[in-house]
Amino acid sequence: MGIKKVLLIAVAIQTFFLLLMFWSSTSAWGAGPYLVCDPQDGVTYYRYVVGDELIIEPAQADGSFKHDLTDWPTGVTNSELNAGAPWALDGIPTDVIEWSDPRPFVLGRPSVPQSPLNIGLKE
């Protein structure tokens, strides 16, 4: 194997690892904070309100709740979270959901700050 092939393989391996590091770091940056709730037995759905919109999401496999807040509106939002479990008829879950009492919460998301201006050096 010639020196050119060895150098080409080394550059390809370095490029692969650099791309892998870049991909893993950017995917972590893109993840927003999460609204979460501990697991609860029998819970299959959660519902919450954002503005005037009622949103129903399935629970995680363990009965917990996890919602990415990346798209949550800026400003202060008053909301509430309910846990839901389906009624069953002869052991078969139905479409009728029994909802818990609401758990209110207030979430404040800041707007994106302005970029720094007049950057320089001072003595």
The tens-digit pLDDT sequence of the chain (123 residues) is 677 776 666 555 666 555 555 554 444 455 678 999 999 999 999 999 887 889 999 999 999 999 998 888 889 989 999 999 999 898 888 889 999 999 999 988 888 888 888 888 888
Residue with tokens 């009622």: 54
3-state helix, strand, coil in the chain (%, to 5): 25, 40, 35
pLDDT at 8: 64
Task: Give pTM, 2 decimals.
Answer: 0.63
SS3 30: helix
Residue ranges per domain, the chain? 32-109
